[in-house]
Amino acid sequence: MEQITRSPEETQALGEKIGRKLREGDVVALIGELGAGKTCLTQGLGLGLGVDPNLYLTSPSFTLIKEYRGRLRVYHIDLYRLNSIKEVYELGFEEYFYGSGVTIVEWADRIETLLPPEHVRIEIEVVSENERRIKLTGQACLTPTSEKNK
Amino acid sequence: MIVLGIETSCDETAAAVVEDGKKVRSSVVSSQVDIHRKFGGVVPELASRAHLDLLCPVIEESFHRAGLSILDIDGIAVTAGPGLVGALLVGTSTAKAICFSLKKPLIAINHIEAHLYANFIDEEPVLPAIGLIVSGGHTDMVYVSGINEYKVLGRTRDDAVGEAFDKVAKMLGLGYPGGPAIERAAQKGDAGKITFPRPYLPGSFDFSFSGLKTAVLYHIKKHGCKDVEDIAAGFQAAVVDVLVRKVLMAAEDEGVGSILLGGGVARNTVLRKALEEGAFKTGIGFFCPPPALCTDNAVMIAGLGFVKLERGERSSLSLNVCSNWVLGSPLPPLIRGEQGGMGGCRVERDSC
């Protein structure tokens, strides 16, 4: 699935739509440059996951990880400051990927080999100052068709 | 009453011995900045390990400097949140162990509340007040009407102020920590040369600095990373404008008697001066702790701990830590056996 959003609000709304479809154990890999809107989209995912709207999912760059409670536990990880897979490996973050919450990883392209093979992948491409091309792949793109196949 | 304060919520391992909430007998802060410099920020697990190595020597040093023994204390105050879970656990576990063995009372302290209390150590600000706590991990505007009487008016919706400073400093190649680096560069720059957007978020006391960070990025992309000093000055001016305007607006709305500043970013002299001038014009008081009490320290923890212990408040030895403990809400209790996303192996340490 691919979609163009034209404002941070639209990016967040798309995130919320995706967030509603996330399930226990899902790992969401977010990829996009600084300022692309990864945290903005994550805030939408949080809303879709039922995290209290008054509790903004703020940037975890400083602390690397923040935890929230929605209809599922939400782990918001930001690898912005990390430079190598080895560092992430030492931090033990991959343990979250095989847990029962939903794990959202910003800058996930820095740890490709640590990501579980069946993760949900969201790539945000900056088209212009306000436009973003958002590409969604994996976990059968969270479409209802995957439910029908069950 | 002699209170030992312990603070390990982020990258500082700190202990302090404070008498009756105001008389500082000793304050030891073992900054871990050197460990973190090569990572360009705080790495939680590294922080926990460093806290583990440093905390006992730091506590011993605090008693040595105070000329007291650990047996002289009447209680321990320890930061239980908000902060990094692993780091907080090192502090609370140590505090619990000492309290258990010496049979002394324990009191859990909210880190943000302690930053506000730092203003009351040397002065007596008029209440109610608007408090602004700004640091690498926090941007909180709080209405304070008394001890345990807080209302959070606004928070950042994305990046904390100090984080925005760090990210912009990294973009400009100015190094870590970003706050002092930006301030130094800005002194040589012209704040009027490049105008960055001011995210005021009308109708709300929340803050947002992510868009400002992105605006700096687009400026660099378009014009290259030249005029670093002007960019730093323009960025700093935008941040200060937003903070000052919103705090003054809140102060007017709520009709308070003073403004209280705190947190590491409170050391920024441009911010301090602008808030002081604004408060003066409005006819209200402005308070900011000395620099050593702005950044993370244990004096503020012990000081606030004294006030709470005096009021008869106590924390249980089974107290939990909470990574996002919101000021004014109770510390969530420890839920035993709770399984988290990491198979319960580490997440159960944080049940909030």
Domain of residue B208, residue span: 127-283
C-beta separation of A13 from A44 below 8 A: yes
Q: Which two tokens stand for residue A87?
A: 């560092």
Q: Give the pLDDT score at A90.
A: 65
Q: Which two tokens stand for residue B164?
A: 């925005």
B chain contacts of residue A96, beta-carbon cutoff 8 Å: 341-342
Provide, rounded to the nearest whole percent, the portion of chain B with pLDDT above 90: 76
User: Does the beta carbon of A126 lie under 8 angstroms from any beta carbon of chain B?
Assistant: no
Q: Give the phi and the psi of residue B129 in degrees, each rounded to 5.
A: -140, 160
Q: How far is B234 from chain A (nearest CA, A)?
A: 18
Neighbour count for residue B206 (Cβ, 10 Å) = 17
Report the distance separating Cα B261 and Cα B119, nearest Å.
Answer: 8
B240, B263, B283: which is the final residue of a domain?
B283
Are A100 and B341 inside 8 Å of each other by CB?
A: yes
Residue B339 in this model has a pLDDT that exceeds 50: no
Angle of helix B178-187 relative to helix B228-254, nearest 10 degrees? 110
* A97: Cα separation from own chain's centroid: 12
Q: How far is A56 from chain B (nearest CA, A)?
A: 6
User: Does the beta carbon of A103 lie under 8 angstroms from any beta carbon of chain B?
Assistant: yes
Helices (H), B3-75: 33-37, 44-66
B223, B248, B283: which is the final residue of a domain?
B283
* Residue of B42, B156, B339 lying closest to A63 (CB–CB): B42
- Residue B280 pLDDT grade (very low, low, confident, very high; cuts 50, 70, 90): very high
Q: Give the pLDDT score at A145.
A: 52
Report the distance separating Cα B207 and Cα B161, nearest Å.
Answer: 9
Q: Does B99 share its domain with B12?
A: yes
Q: Give the pLDDT score at A97.
A: 87
Angle of helix B178-187 relative to helix B269-282, nearest 10 degrees? 80
Are B45 and A92 inside 8 Å of each other by CB?
A: yes
Q: Does B108 share its domain with B179?
A: no
- Structural domain includes residue B122: no
Q: Give the pLDDT score at B49.
A: 78
- Structural domain includes residue B289: no
Report the distance separating Cα B61 and Cα B21, nearest Å.
Answer: 20
A chain contacts of residue B41, beta-carbon cutoff 8 Å: 61-62, 64, 81
Are B160 and A95 inside 8 Å of each other by CB?
A: no
Q: Which two tokens stand for residue B102?
A: 């010496």
Residue B161 in this model has a pLDDT that exceeds 70: yes
Burial bucket for residue A124 (CB in 10 Å: 0-12, 13-18, 19+): buried
Q: Does B207 share its domain with B107?
A: no
Q: How far is B347 from chain A (nearest CA, A)?
A: 9
* Cα–Cα separations (whole angstroms), residue B253 to A2, B203, B246, B257, B282: 45, 12, 10, 12, 12
Q: Which two tokens stand for residue A82?
A: 């990390």
Residue A61 in this model has a pLDDT that exceeds 80: no
Chain A interface mutation, best of B210, B217, B219, B325, highest count of A Cβ atoms under 10 Å: B210
Closest to B88 in 3D by CA, of B98, B96, B80: B80
Q: Which two tokens stand for residue B42?
A: 């705080």
Report whether the peptide linkage leading into residue B199 is cis, meaning its omega lies within 30 degrees of zero. Answer: no
Q: Does B95 share its domain with B156?
A: no
Q: Give the phi and the psi of residue B262 in degrees, each rounded to 5.
A: -170, 170
Are B218 and A129 inside 8 Å of each other by CB?
A: yes
Paired strand residues for B2 = B19
Residue B51 in this model has a pLDDT that exceeds 90: no
CATH (domain of B82): 3.30.420.40
Are B158 and A56 inside 8 Å of each other by CB?
A: yes
Q: What is the mean pLDDT of chain B?
A: 90
- Structural domain includes residue B121: no
Amino acid identity of residue B301, one-letter, is I
Full-model pTM: 0.86
* Cα–Cα separations (whole angstroms), residue B229 to B145, B220, B226, B232: 40, 13, 8, 5
Q: Interface pTM (ipTM) of the complex? A: 0.78
What single string gives the DSSP state of each residue in A46-87? Answer: HHHTT--TTS-----TTTSEEEEESSSEEEEEE-TT---HHH
- Residue B32 pLDDT grade (very low, low, confident, very high; cuts 50, 70, 90): low
Helices (H), B81-209: 85-102, 111-117, 161-171, 178-187
pLDDT of A111-123, one tens digit each? Answer: 888 889 899 999 9
Are A62 and B162 inside 8 Å of each other by CB?
A: yes
- Structural domain includes residue A113: yes
Q: Does B76 share its domain with B49?
A: yes
- Structural domain includes residue B223: yes
Token look-up 């304050």 returns: B27
Closest to B139 in 3D by CA, of B170, B163, B171: B163
Q: Give the pLDDT score at B85.
A: 82
Token look-up 């212990």 returns: B309
Q: Does B243 share its domain with B131?
A: yes
Least confident among A27-41, A57-71, B127-141, B145-159: A57-71
Which secondary-structure segment (H or E) carries B78? strand B75-81
Are B43 and A81 inside 8 Å of each other by CB?
A: yes
Least confident among A37-41, A142-146, B166-170, B280-284: A142-146
Q: Give the pLDDT score at B343.
A: 28
Please compute the mean of the pLDDT values over residues B68-92 and round it to a whole number.
94
A chain contacts of residue B341, beta-carbon cutoff 8 Å: 73, 75, 96, 99-101, 103
Q: Does B259 share its domain with B279?
A: yes
- Structural domain includes residue A147: no
Least confident among B181-190, B220-229, B275-284: B220-229
- Residue A53 pLDDT grade (very low, low, confident, very high; cuts 50, 70, 90): confident
Domain of residue A55, residue span: 2-142
* Residue of A58, A66, A87 lying closest to B157 (CB–CB): A58
3-state secondary structure of B304: helix
Of how many residues is chain A composed? 150
Q: Give the pLDDT score at B44.
A: 57
* Residue of A56, A64, A99 lying closest to B342 (CB–CB): A99
* Residue of A35, A65, A68 lying closest to B213 (CB–CB): A35
CB neighbours of B149 closer than 8 A, spacing ≥ 6? none
C-beta separation of B63 from B26 below 8 A: yes
pLDDT of B90-131, one tens digit each? Answer: 999 999 999 999 999 999 999 999 999 999 999 999 999 999
Residue A43 in this model has a pLDDT that exceeds 90: yes
B chain contacts of residue A100, beta-carbon cutoff 8 Å: 339-341, 343
B chain contacts of residue A73, beta-carbon cutoff 8 Å: 340-341, 347
Report the distance separating Cα B342 and Cα B228, nearest Å.
Answer: 43
Report the distance separating Cα B153 and Cα B272, nearest Å.
Answer: 20
Q: How far is B335 from chain A (nearest CA, A)?
A: 14
Q: Give the pLDDT score at B190.
A: 96
pLDDT of B215-259, one tens digit each? Answer: 999 999 899 888 999 999 999 999 999 999 999 999 999 999 999
Closest to B72 in 3D by CA, of B20, B2, B18: B2
Please compute the mean of the pLDDT values over residues A124-137 and round it to a whole number.
92
Top mean pLDDT of A55-59, B26-30, B91-95, B326-330 is at B91-95
Q: Does B258 share its domain with B137?
A: yes
Structural domain count of chain A: 1
Q: Does B144 share its domain with B258?
A: yes
CATH (domain of A40): 3.40.50.300
Please compute the mean of the pLDDT values over residues A57-85 and round it to a whole number.
83
- Structural domain includes residue B290: no
Q: Give the pLDDT score at A99.
A: 83
What are B's interface residues with A at a Cβ cutoff of 8 A? 10, 39-45, 83-85, 136-137, 155-160, 162-163, 166-167, 171, 206, 210-211, 213-214, 217-218, 323-324, 339-343, 345-347, 350
Q: Does B321 share its domain with B193?
A: no
Q: Give the pLDDT score at A147.
A: 52
C-beta separation of B127 from B151 below 8 A: no
- Structural domain includes residue B257: yes
Of how many residues is chain B composed? 352
Structural domain count of chain B: 2
